[in-house]
Amino acid sequence: MELEPKVRDFIDYARVCRLGTADLQGQPHVVPVCPILFDGKLYVASEDNRKVRNIRENPKVALAFDDYVEDWSSLRGVIVFGSVSRVIEGGKEFQPLQAAFYSKFPQYEPQAGGVNEGDTVILEIEMERISSGL
């Protein structure tokens, strides 16, 4: 999906967004994640936990990006609706994405244990629809 420049820049700048998943019974689960845009695609790194288990059952996701300010006339946000198209567990595709995460979030390695093959997966999100309040 081709993003409008202002939407692409807003998502690319975002330090955190909220990722919503649901299991097969429809039970929702929402967590903060640190996203990257890489080669025009959206990625999130994660331990193999509840959100990843939900995604393996039901790949549909929503990501909410927002910029909250006390002056509500200046609120901005983007919601991405899509599906996880791939769960990358390692290999040649993993390393450039790992480097991109470390570039945007240098604290990943020293403070969160890193984005490492074997204990982290990288979720590639196919953006299907965008709702923008920019």
Give me the phi and psi of 114, to 5 degrees please.
90, 170
pTM for this model (two decimals):
0.93
pLDDT at 98: 95
Give residue 54's pLDDT: 97
Distance CA 107, CA 118 (A): 20
- The structure tokens listed for 102 are 């470390």
Q: How much is the pLDDT for 111?
A: 75
CB within 8 A of 57, min separation 6: which ones? 23, 24
Chunked in runs of 10, what are the mean pLDDT values of the chain (134 residues)? Answer: 94 97 95 96 94 96 95 94 97 95 90 86 97 94
Domain count, the chain: 1
Q: According to the model, what pLDDT value does residue 20 have?
A: 98
CATH number at residue 11: 2.30.110.10
Residue span of the structural domain in which 60 resides:
5-133
